[in-house]
Amino acid sequence: MSDPVTLSSGISYDRDGIETWLKAGNFTCPVTNQVLMSFDLVPNHALRRMIQDWCVQNLRFGVERIPTPRVPVSGDEIAAVLARLESAAKRLDEYDCRECLRKMTSWGNESERNRISIASNGAAGVLAAAFDGFARETVEKRAVVLEELLSSMSWMFTMSSRGGGKEAAAARDRLASAESVKALLWFLKSNGSRIAAKQNSLIALRELLLASSKRERVAESMLEIEDLHQILFGFLRSPISPAITKLSLTLIFQLLQISTSKSSDRFKSSLIDADLVSFLLETIISSSKERSVSEKALGILDKLCDDSKGRAAASGNSLTVPLLVKKILRISAAATEFSVSVIWKLGRCDQRALVEGLQVGAFQKLVLVLQLGCGEETKEKATATLKMMNPFRNEFECTESLDFKNLKRSF
* Cβ(211)–Cβ(167) below 8 Å: no
CA–CA dist 391, 389 (Å, integer): 6
pLDDT (0 to 100) of residue 14:
92
pLDDT at position 162 is: 46
The pLDDT, as a whole number, for residue 47 is: 93
Query: Percent of the chain, pLDDT > 70?
Result: 91
pLDDT at 85 over 60: yes
Q: Whole-angstrom distance between the N-terminal and C-terminal Cα of the chain?
A: 43
Tell me: the pLDDT tens digits for 154-189? 887 766 544 445 666 777 878 888 888 888 888 888
Percent of the chain at pLDDT > 90 equals 13
pLDDT, one tens digit per residue, over 291-340 is: 888 889 899 999 988 888 888 888 888 888 888 888 888 888 888 898 88
**SS3 category, 118:** helix
pTM, entire model: 0.76
Q: What is the pLDDT of residue 166?
A: 64
**How far is it, in rounded angstroms, from Cα 262 to Cα 267?**
9
Question: By mean pLDDT, which of 72-86, 119-133, 213-227 is the weakest?
Answer: 213-227
pLDDT of residue 353: 84
Asked whether residue 408 carries a pLDDT value surpassing 70, the answer given is no
**pLDDT for the residue numbered 294:** 87
Buried b (16+ CB within 10 A) or exposed e, 380-394: ebbeebbebbeebee
pLDDT of 165 reads: 57
Arithmetic mean of pLDDT over the chain: 84
pLDDT tens profile 1-52: 888 999 989 999 998 899 889 888 888 999 999 998 888 888 899 999 999 9
pLDDT-derived band at 273, boundaries 50, 70, 90 = confident
pLDDT digits (tens, 9 = 90+) for 341-378: 988 898 888 888 888 888 888 888 888 888 887 788 88
Residues 327/405, Cβ–Cβ less than 8 Å: no
The predicted structure's pLDDT at residue 163: 44
Q: What is the pLDDT of residue 259?
A: 67
Q: What residues pair up with 4 in beta bridges, in sequence order?
A: 14
Q: What is the mean pLDDT of residues 140-152?
A: 89
Cβ-contact 366, 324 below 8 angstroms: no
